[in-house]
Amino acid sequence: MNRYLIPLAIFAVLVVFLTIGLGLKPRDVPSPLIDKPAPAFTLKQLHEPTKQMSPADLKGKVWLLNVWGSWCVSCRQEHPLLVELAKTNIVPLVGLNWKDDPAAALKWLGDLGDPYTVSVVDPDGRVAIDYGVYGAPETYVIDRDGVIRYKHIGPISPDDLTGKILPIVKKLQG
């Protein structure tokens, strides 16, 4: 009896570990910035380069920071959803235009619609490094006190939006 039980137990443990391993997404690296203050920045606005914007301007509001670039294919995939979200006026959406050509970015927004309350430009990617961005698109949920509460890596699907991001936003909005 024992001689069958032990290999079976070892096999069961292996199956459990491998099943967990299969479910993990190696692309999704947990961010150490969750529940930490959103890194400060002061960046030029895309539409009006003479104006600047920083996270402190949005204190007291729950808001989303979406990292994107006109060169980014997955951003195009999630874009219609962001445009829809913007129409609902539930939450302000700030676009961080990452390592992009401002002219190309403006054309992109002109062609596909502009969901952003305000867009800022990060031409050398220095601010994106502070946010631990490693691939666009990435989206951060930031609370009233300027603390990062959630990070979504990759394009947002309708399920991600209604199942994860919006519930978190609503909870934070109280």
Strand, helix or coil for residue 25: coil
11 makes contact with another protein (CB under 8 A): no
- Length of the chain, in residues: 174
Of residues 26-55, those binding another protein (CB under 8 A): 26-27, 29-33
Residue among 102, 123, 132, 154 that touches another protein (CB under 8 A): 132
3-state secondary structure 26-93: CCCCCCCCCCCECCCCCEEECCCCCCEECHHHHCCCCEEEEEECCCCHHHHHHHHHHHHHHHHCCCCE
DSSP 95: E
CB 52 within 8 A of CB 42: yes
Which among 54-62, 84-92, 121-129, 140-148 is the span making contact with another protein, rule CB under 8 A?
121-129
7 touches another protein by CB under 8 A: no
Smallest gap from Cβ 77 to another protein, in A, equals 18
Cα angle 131, 134, 137 (rounded to 5 degrees) comes to: 90
Residue placing its CB nearer to another protein in the complex, 40 or 80? 40
Cβ distance 148 to 118 under 8 Å? no
Interface pattern 72-101 for another protein (x via CB under 8 A):
---------------------------x--
Q: Nearest approach, Cβ of 125 to another protein (angstroms)?
A: 5
**Residue 129 within binding range of another protein, rule CB under 8 A:** yes
By C-beta, is 26 or 110 nearer to another protein?
26
Q: Is 138 helix (H, G, I), strand (E, B) or coil?
A: strand
Among 35, 48, 84, 124, binds another protein (CB under 8 A): 124
One of 90, 130, 147, 164 touching another protein (CB under 8 A): 130
Give 37's Cβ-side CA count (13 Å radius): 8
Applying CB under 8 A, the residues found at the interface with another protein are: 26-27, 29-33, 99, 124-126, 129-132, 134-135
